[in-house]
Chains A and B, each alone.
Chain A
Amino acid sequence: MPLLVSIATAALVGAGVWLILRAQTFPVILGLMLLSYAANLVLFASGGLTVGRAPILIKGVETYPDPIPQALVLTAIVIGFAMTAFVLVLALKARFALDSDHVDGDPVEPQEGR
């Protein structure tokens, strides 16, 4: 199980890093989203992996999964949405002001386009 989750985070991080290194805004935002998924997953995993036993107290059950990472990740997901929205509007604003979708505001040059 640890191996599988590690592979999942590795894949998310790899794809995220590749995408944030692209030259245009939209892939960068997608990359940021993937990275935040990965971050959430790592944070979640730091509490260990448990199957089929939620941190909901039930009489007679003694062991539960670690609730703290879950609480942290829950707010992180919501904040992640706020961050995505902010970056996205930033990208829109850049395109509105600079007439370019490039991360540096450069005109999309022919040598890059062809």
Chain B
Amino acid sequence: MIELLSEVLVSALILVGAFFTLVGSLGLTRLRDFFARLHGPTKATTLGVGSLLLASLVFIALEGDGLRLHKVLIAIFLFLTAPVSAHLLAKAAICLKVGTGPAGEVPETFDATQSLEIPRDPVSTPPAT
């Protein structure tokens, strides 16, 4: 009984995770402009990966290996870093004056300081995320 329940639970979590990841990926490719597209990988995918991690956590816990907190740690780090990187990306886009219309192309190269007026520290380029 427990086994069946756990299998259902794990499967459901995996399905939810896969769904959100798919939605996020679709959003990344299909949405209108840069700022809209940013939602895809940050919000939806966070949720998706979170679910998958949870599935793994439950699976291992119920398989009898006990509660392993590695996965929780991964989730915490993910939740900490994803919004920060999204925030940075958005800020960079503002600095680059990326347009919001469909024609507002995102330059392929990333050189935030080139069009920046505010005096800045050289360490302004964020790491590739």
Judged by CB atoms under 8 Å, the answer to whether A and B touch is no
B residues neighboring A (CB under 8 Å): none
A residues neighboring B (CB under 8 Å): none
